Homo-oligomer: A and B are copies of this chain.
Amino acid sequence: MNAMWVELKAIFDRLSIDPAVRAILLTGAGEKAFSAGLDVEAATSSGPLSKIGGKDPARAATALRRHILEFQDCVSSIEKCEKPVIIVLHGYSLGLAIDICTAADIRLCASNTRFAVKEVDNGLAADIGTLSRLPKIVSSFSWVKDVCLSARPFGADEALRVGFISGVYGNKDEAVKEGLKLAASIAGKSPVAVQGTKELLNWSRDHTVADGLRYTSVWNSGALQSKDLSSAMLSALQRRTPTFEKL
């Protein structure tokens, strides 16, 4: 496994339980791309292609399955992180950029973002999360199949229209600025309320309404004992900004 992904997981696992952290903004360095997708050289040297060579196909399959599961596990650390993760995309955002993006909570982008579920053009079905999460996070299954089967590029406006992205801004700097504003606003609220909200929405996406309601009742049977409720209400009555203890 490429060290970068192992480190990504290590970081998100730490942020998940660091009481000083209340909201996370994930963005890409540089001007041109969040991620240009699969690096052919990496794929050959440390990626799937390196797992196969000369092996019995069943044994190659085991090596590949372990590799994919480990890679998925790294990217899923964003979804499993207990704190909200806002992602800001810009420029080329291909292949793995989409896998990462679907694991984040709130997706914002610059108007120059150029998306593509690029994997079929590399001869494979996307396997690090896009195909499992996309049907559950955007509106139109016809659109999902169109972009996943054709690998065609799409821009920020189309991404906004179908609900993949919930905010488009003029350029990367503006998008990051808005993302930070949103992060700050969330960080000012009760972490018991915020982190419960993330957990309950993710659980509900994957369960029936009945199971969602029951899990919620058990979750909140502990969470409602927080003094954050009375702080929040008192502050509202007194028109003060409340502060909440770390979690």
Contact = CB atoms under 8 A, between A and B. Distances in A.
B135 A138 contact: no
Interface stretch (A3-11, A25-33, A206-214): A206-214
A40 interface: yes
B245 A56 contact: yes
B123 A229 contact: yes
Interface in A74-108: 76, 79, 84, 105-107
- Chain A interface residue bracket vs B: 35 or more
Contact of A141 (B137, B146, B220, B237): B137
Contact of A142 (B72, B106, B198): B106
A204 B136 contact: yes
Contacts of A193: 119-120, 122-125
Contacts of A182: 146, 150
A120 B65 contact: no
Contacts of A215: 215, 218
Q: Per DSSP, are chain A's interface residues mostly helix, strand or loop, or mixed?
A: helix
Contacts of A1: none
A157 B232 CA distance: 29
A166 interface: yes
Contacts of A164: 140, 142
Contacts of A227: 56
A162 to B, nearest CB: 7
A199 B66 CA distance: 13
A15 interface: no
A21 interface: no
Contact of A64 (B149, B220, B228): B220
Given A61-B223, A124-B193, 9 more contacts: A48-B224, A57-B57, A59-B192, A119-B197, A120-B189, A131-B200, A141-B201, A146-B182, A148-B201
8 contacts: A56-B226, A58-B224, A122-B232, A125-B199, A127-B220, A131-B200, A132-B200, A140-B166
